[in-house]
Structure 1
Amino acid sequence: MKIAYLIIAYNNARHFPRLIRALNTPRCGFFVHIDKKYDITAYTAVRGQNIVFSRNRVPVYWGDFSTVEAILIVLREALQSAEGFERFVLLSGSDYPVRSAESIERFFESHRETEYMNLVPMPSKALGKPLTRLSYYRPGPLTPPWLLFTAKALMKLHLWPHRNYRKVLGNMKPYGGSMFWALTRNAAQYLLDFVDRRPDFLRFYRNTYCPDEMMLQTILGNSPFAPNIQRNLTYADWSARGRSPEWINRKHLDLFKTTVRFPPDDPYGPGDMLFARKFSEDADDLVEELNRIIAEREAGG
C-alpha cells in the first residue's frame, strides 16, 4: 500500500522530524505545505527522496479559505507524482501516529475501498455546524480591522446580509465535518476534478467560515463515494470547547494505552484511531513514551 501523507504545517518545526520518522517507510511519500508566513528552512533540514516541500506556498489563516488552497496544492502534487500513491492522508504538522507505520499500512491495505472523513448533514447543532457558516458572507483575513469588527457585530445581531447558497450548491446537500481525512486515489481524484470544473464552487466557499470543514465534505458527501465514507482516523480532544483542541498530555497517553478506537458515543460515531493531534514542540518525553506504548501494544498482538 503506497501512502501519500499530505502535511499542512506552520509553527511546529521541532515536532516535524518526529512525525516524519514515525511514518517513514519505503512505501510512503510526504507532500508538505509550509505556511508562507513562516520560515521554511526550519523544516527543509529534514531531507529525503520521498519528502516534497511545495514551492507553491500560500499564507494560511485560521478559519479561512487559504487552508483549502494549501490542501489542494499538496493533494494535486501527490496525485501527479509518478509513484502512483493509492491512499492520501491529510495531517497537520502537530499530528503524530498512535500506531506504528507498518500497522497503519496494514490497516489501509485491509480497507482499500473505505473513505475516512468526518461528515454530518448541515445544520448540525450538536457539532456546531449551522447553515450560517454558508449563508453569511465572511470577509477575508486581510480585511481592515474596523470592517471585521463591524461585520462580527452585525452577524451577532443577525443583521448581516445572507447569501443564497442554493445558487451554487443546487440540489447538493451541504455537509460539515473535520478538516482531516484519508481518501482513496479515486476519491482524491474526484475532488480535484470537481474543483477544476466548478470554479464558482471555490469562489463561493472562499468567503465562508471554516471552509476546510465544509467544502470537500460537501463534494464527497454528494458523490458516488458517499456510501463508503466512515469517520475520520485522527483523535483530537475538544472537551474544553475552544477554537482548537487540547494539547496532547499524559492523560491522553493513558487513553492510548487502553484503546486505539473511538467509543460509540463519540459525536462522529465509533471507529479506529490511527493519529492524534496536537503535540507541542516540547513534547519529546510524551512522544518517547507514546512510542513505547505503541511498541508494547503491538508486540503483545
Structure 2
Amino acid sequence: MKHAYLILAHNEFPILERLVKALDDPRNDIYIHVDRKTSVLPELKTAHAGLSILSDRIDVRWGDVSVVEAEFLLFEWAAKNGGYTYYHLLSGVDMPLKSQDEIHAFCDKQQGKEFIGFSKGDINAQIERKVQRYHLFPRDFRDHKGFFGFSRRLLRYVYLRLQDLFGMKRNQHIEFKKGTQWVSVTHDFVTYILSEKAKVLHTYKNTFCSDEIFIQTLCWHSPFRDSVYDLNNEGNGCMRMIRWKANQIWDWENKDFDILMASDALFVRKFNSRNLEIVDKLLNKVTGS
C-alpha cells in the first residue's frame, strides 16, 4: 500500500533535503509545493520514491487562505495520480520520528483512522477573531514595512474594532473546530475534502489562519469524525510532536534528541538550519544509516 507525502516548503532547504531522504522509499510518492516567491528551487532527487515538485505554484502568504489553496493543490495532484492509503501533510522543516517500516506498519494496523489533531479547551475567542470577522488585506498580515504597510494594518484594526462594536459576525451558522494543519488522512477523506473545495474557499475568504480550522471543521461535520484516531489529545490525534511556547511553535534544538526519541509520534516539527546535528541524527535513526 502506497503513501503520499505532501510537503509545503518555502525556505530552509537543507532541512527539506534531509526530509526527502528520510521519505525515500518505494512505498512512497513525494509531492512538494514550493512557494512561488521562491525564485531558485532546491535540487532534490530520490532513489526509490516518486518525486514531484509542483510546477503550478501559489504565492503563499502567512495567515491567508492561500495556505489552504496550496494544500488543495497538493491533495489534488496526489489524488489524481492514484488512491494512496494515506496522505501525510508536512512542512518542509519537519522530519519523521519513525522509520518507513514503522510508519507503514502503524498505518496498516490503524487502517481507516484519520490522524487529525483537534484543539482542546475554550477556542471560542480564537474562532470569533479568525473566521467570524472580515479581515481586510488578508494577503498582507505580515506586511509591516513602510507607510503603506502601516496604513493597511491600521485600516484592518479599525474595521475589526467596528465589527466588534456593532456585534457583526459572519459564518454564524457553522460550528468551527481548530487544530494543527498537519495531518495524515485516508484517500476517502481526501476525496471528501476535494469535493468541498469551492465551499471551503468561499467560506474562508478574508479570514485569518483558516489552515488551522478548515480540515477540522470539515471532519467534525462528516462521518469521518468517528474515525479520528484521538479526539481528546491534539498531538496524539495527528501523531505529531510539536513544541509550543507562549502560543508559538518553537524549533527543536540539538540538545533535544533524547526527548524526541522518547516520543510515540510519527512526525516532528519543526527544525532550522542552525541545528542540523539533530536533523542528521534523526535521518540516520529512521533510515538505519
User: Percent of pairs identical after alignment?
Assistant: 25
Match runs of 1:25-104 below 5 Å: 25-41=25-41, 43-46=42-45, 50-82=50-82, 84-104=83-103
Equivalent of residue 241 in structure 1, options 241, 247, 262: 247
Q: Secondary structure at the match of 1:117?
A: coil
**How far apart are residue 193 of structure 1 and its match?**
1.0
Question: Structure 1 residue 137 and structure 2 residue 134: aligned?
Answer: yes
**Does the CA contact (< 8 Å) of 1:3 and 1:28 recur in 2?**
yes
**Does the CA contact (< 8 Å) of 2:100 and 2:286 recur in 1?**
no
Equivalent of residue 280 in structure 2, options 271, 275, 288: 288
Aligned residues: 271
**How far apart are residue 147 of structure 1 and its match?**
2.8
Give the match for residue 147 of structure 1: 152
Which whole-Å CA distance do the structure 1 matches of 2:250 and 2:95 have between them?
A: 14
Give the match for residue 263 of structure 2: 260
**Does the CA contact (< 8 Å) of 1:87 and 1:184 recur in 2?**
yes
What CA RMSD, in Å, does the superposition of the two structures yield over aligned residues? 2.4
**Does the CA contact (< 8 Å) of 1:34 and 1:40 recur in 2?**
no
Which whole-Å CA distance do the structure 2 matches of 1:89 and 1:291 have between them?
A: 18
Give the match for residue 162 of structure 1: 168
Structure-2 change in CA distance of 1:98 and 1:45 (3 Å): closer
**How far apart are residue 291 of structure 1 and its match?**
4.1
Give the match for residue 268 of structure 1: none
Structure-2 change in CA distance of 1:246 and 1:96 (3 Å): same
**Does the CA contact (< 8 Å) of 2:133 and 2:207 recur in 1?**
yes
Q: Which amino acid aligns with 2:180?
A: S
Question: Structure 1 residue 250 and structure 2 residue 259: aligned?
Answer: no
**Does the CA contact (< 8 Å) of 2:6 and 2:30 recur in 1?**
yes
Q: 154-163 or 32-41: which moved more?
A: 154-163
- Structure with greater strand share of residues: 1
**Does the CA contact (< 8 Å) of 2:256 and 2:278 recur in 1?**
no
Provide TM-score, normalisation by structure 1: 0.82
Give the match for residue 279 of structure 1: 271
Which whole-Å CA distance do the structure 2 matches of 1:69 and 1:286 have between them?
A: 32
Which whole-Å CA distance do the structure 2 matches of 1:252 and 1:212 have between them?
A: 28
Q: Secondary structure at the match of 1:31?
A: strand
**How far apart are residue 279 of structure 1 and its match?**
1.1
Give the match for residue 145 of structure 2: none
Which whole-Å CA distance do the structure 2 matches of 1:222 and 1:39 have between them?
A: 40
Q: Secondary structure at the match of 1:32?
A: strand
- Structure with greater helix share of residues: 2
Q: Secondary structure at the match of 2:139?
A: coil
Which whole-Å CA distance do the structure 1 matches of 2:107 and 2:99 have between them?
A: 13
**How far apart are residue 240 of structure 1 and its match?**
3.6
Which whole-Å CA distance do the structure 1 matches of 2:50 and 2:20 have between them?
A: 10
Q: Secondary structure at the match of 2:241?
A: strand
**How far apart are residue 135 of structure 1 and its match?**
1.3
**How far apart are residue 247 of structure 1 and its match?**
1.0
Which whole-Å CA distance do the structure 2 matches of 1:193 and 1:65 have between them?
A: 17
Q: Which residues of structure 2 form unaligned runs of 5+?
A: 142-147, 231-236
**Does the CA contact (< 8 Å) of 1:121 and 1:173 recur in 2?**
no
Which whole-Å CA distance do the structure 1 matches of 2:72 and 2:102 have between them?
A: 27
Give the match for residue 266 of structure 1: none
**Does the CA contact (< 8 Å) of 2:8 and 2:34 recur in 1?**
yes
Which whole-Å CA distance do the structure 1 matches of 2:276 and 2:258 have between them?
A: 17
Which whole-Å CA distance do the structure 1 matches of 2:154 and 2:36 have between them?
A: 26
Question: Structure 1 residue 216 and structure 2 residue 215: aligned?
Answer: yes
Q: Which residues of structure 1 form unaligned runs of 5+?
A: 262-272, 297-301
Q: Secondary structure at the match of 1:85?
A: coil
